Chains A and B, each alone.
Chain A
């Protein structure tokens, strides 16, 4: 009974994890149902308040057209969440199986994948984005595809390297000695043991996605208005940072904090998934 309780306690998230989970839930609500946080319309213009400072009506002030910045940030959450989640999700859905197979069977598949990955990695992502956007135009799906392609080699190479490391461990040989099927060894021992390391990377990539989206918007090849992303807000804000510093600071902070929180989340996730690092 006692061991049971301690086992449950071990599985319990720490205080910092609780805070992050709450923030994550709030962000999810903002993305799915922004009205929960603001009654305003992100595109409603108040001609009497252009680049106004913070007030009770406009918590973070208004932008150059007189729209409420706070409302626009809240409404920008959805696209940023979608872009980061889907791009990283696709990269994982494709990259983990590829890396696993390459690391397990090695051989020609491994060789081809490693070279392809190195090729993609060597290509500057912003240049890649400019090329693709130039031929396909900007849209959320295009951006997601670009980011997924950019993240794919990182995920594949990580899964491959971790698989190879795990395969060299005694327990994989021991599992073969006991007579487990290869498929079982891969899913039970290998996948299970590379998951923590894979999980650490996912929030890092999501934070990269947010930052890359912001920089692409800044270059004018991001998501186009009227769609709102944090990156597009940052671009607008940067034009008026002298008149309204709070505009730039608040949007910039949102991007920075989101990226930083994701990094912290990555570490916590890996800690939680790894019984050796769990307190």
Chain B
């Protein structure tokens, strides 16, 4: 298998690019949600990890696709990176530590890092016109004044290919695709370097998804944006991302250049995900063998509290005693990218034996 050039050459040990070149460096990021249980005393709390010890870099002007099924912690990573929820670890943006920042310093940084959310119907205030929605960040950061504000609003709407006639409309008067364009326009209003795109197409019609993805890719090329592209749709991620991080139950289990992961995925979870992606050419489509998913696999594992070992042990067909006891670290594989799996070499050479039915 041919090694792809560039990234791996710079940082062969961990599959992420070298530190200084990266706009975003995420180290040991963990997010824990605590909720109060409805008991008599009202004081009993239950906490569980949504993200645990996640590490990755996003190089300037590149896109990291963050994939994983629902509940794997993708949104939590995005929110933690933007310091919108409490998190532990370290997030460096352009060399500056972000976690723990607050007040004016953080607000100032927000002009450079923005987010587009999953559902534009929810993320746009229904009682504001499009003009007002896009004006909000411009006025909050005093990016323009007077008539310059409306000029800038028109300019960013133009960037997302929206007619300025939509300015006086309310979100509910727009189509889903238009709404998501407004949300993108709002994110662009502060001229950011970095945007977290959290499942920005999943609430849209399939026909519109491609338009929005193409728009985003054009914008990235034109404006030199760095993107964290969150999605559970590997087909779309492949289109936009040069790098991919696969998440399962709060952990990154496979990380590397997308070409490599598509051609030579090693983690059983990634393989299962790829098998679920419909082929663009129906004639070539093979029936999913589900060889990488246990027959009894359920998503139940996602909801129990992690108690050691590999996060994928309950669904993996290759689980051994070692997998149950020791959690595999994300490390360089012989294929060149990073995988967190004890049996990666056996899987790569095809000698891994199924252990299904052992438990």
Do A177 and B168 touch across chains, with their CB atoms under 8 A apart?
no
CA distance A177 to B187 in the complex (A): 9
CA distance A216 to B205 in the complex (A): 60
Do B127 and A193 touch across chains, with their CB atoms under 8 A apart?
yes
B211 to chain A, nearest CB (A): 22
- Per-residue CB contact flags for chain B residues 60-100 toward chain A (1 = under 8 Å, else 0) read 00000000000000000001001010000000000000000
Closest residue to A195 on the B side, CB-wise? Answer: B127
**B82 contact set on A, CB distance < 8 A:** 177
Do A276 and B84 touch across chains, with their CB atoms under 8 A apart?
no
CB proximity to A under 8 Å, residues B112-147: 114-115, 117, 119, 122-128, 136-137, 140-141
A226 touches B (CB below 8 Å): no
CA distance A192 to B84 in the complex (A): 23
Do B186 and A171 touch across chains, with their CB atoms under 8 A apart?
no
CA distance A55 to B108 in the complex (A): 76
**A275 contact set on B, CB distance < 8 A:** 126-127, 170, 172
Interface stretch (choices A33-41, A60-68, A181-189): A181-189
**A189 contact set on B, CB distance < 8 A:** 125
**A169 contact set on B, CB distance < 8 A:** 122
Max count, chain B CB within 10 A of own CB: residue among A4, A173, A177, A184: A177
B190 touches A (CB below 8 Å): yes
CB-CB under 8 A for A174 and B117, given A193-B127, A275-B172, A276-B126: yes
CA distance A180 to B119 in the complex (A): 20
**A175 contact set on B, CB distance < 8 A:** 125, 136
Do A173 and B123 touch across chains, with their CB atoms under 8 A apart?
yes
Max count, chain B CB within 10 A of own CB: residue among A3, A171, A184: A171
CA distance A4 to B165 in the complex (A): 10
B178 to chain A, nearest CB (A): 15
CA distance A189 to B122 in the complex (A): 13
Interface of A is mostly: helix
Do B136 and A178 touch across chains, with their CB atoms under 8 A apart?
yes
Contact of B110 among A3, A170, A177 (CB under 8 A): A177
CA distance A245 to B14 in the complex (A): 93
Do A179 and B111 touch across chains, with their CB atoms under 8 A apart?
yes
Q: How many residues of B contact A (CB 8 A)?
A: 32
**B126 contact set on A, CB distance < 8 A:** 171, 193, 275-276
CB-CB under 8 A for A184 and B140, given A170-B119, A173-B123, A193-B125: yes
A252 to chain B, nearest CB (A): 40
Do B111 and A170 touch across chains, with their CB atoms under 8 A apart?
no
Contact of B107 among A181, A192, A274 (CB under 8 A): A181
CB proximity to B under 8 Å, residues A158-173: 169-171, 173
A81 to chain B, nearest CB (A): 30
B186 to chain A, nearest CB (A): 6
Contact of A171 among B115, B125, B137 (CB under 8 A): B125
Contact of A179 among B124, B140, B170, B172 (CB under 8 A): B140
A127 touches B (CB below 8 Å): no
A176 touches B (CB below 8 Å): yes
Max count, chain B CB within 10 A of own CB: residue among A175, A184, A189: A175
CB-CB under 8 A for A177 and B84, given A3-B165, A4-B168, A7-B168: yes
CA distance A181 to B108 in the complex (A): 11
CB-CB under 8 A for A180 and B123, given A275-B170, A276-B172: no
A274 to chain B, nearest CB (A): 8
Closest residue to A178 on the B side, CB-wise? Answer: B137
CB proximity to B under 8 Å, residues A69-123: none
A residues lining the B interface (CB < 8 Å): 3-4, 7, 169-171, 173-181, 184, 188-189, 192-193, 274-276
25 examples of A-B residue contacts, CB within 8 angstroms: A3-B165, A4-B168, A7-B168, A170-B119, A171-B122, A171-B124, A174-B117, A174-B183, A174-B186, A177-B82, A178-B110, A178-B114, A178-B140, A178-B187, A179-B108, A179-B110, A179-B111, A179-B137, A179-B140, A181-B140, A188-B136, A189-B125, A192-B128, A193-B126, A275-B170
Given contacts A3-B168, A179-B108, 12 further A-B contacts (CB under 8 A): A7-B168, A170-B119, A170-B123, A171-B125, A173-B79, A174-B183, A177-B115, A178-B140, A178-B186, A180-B137, A192-B128, A193-B127
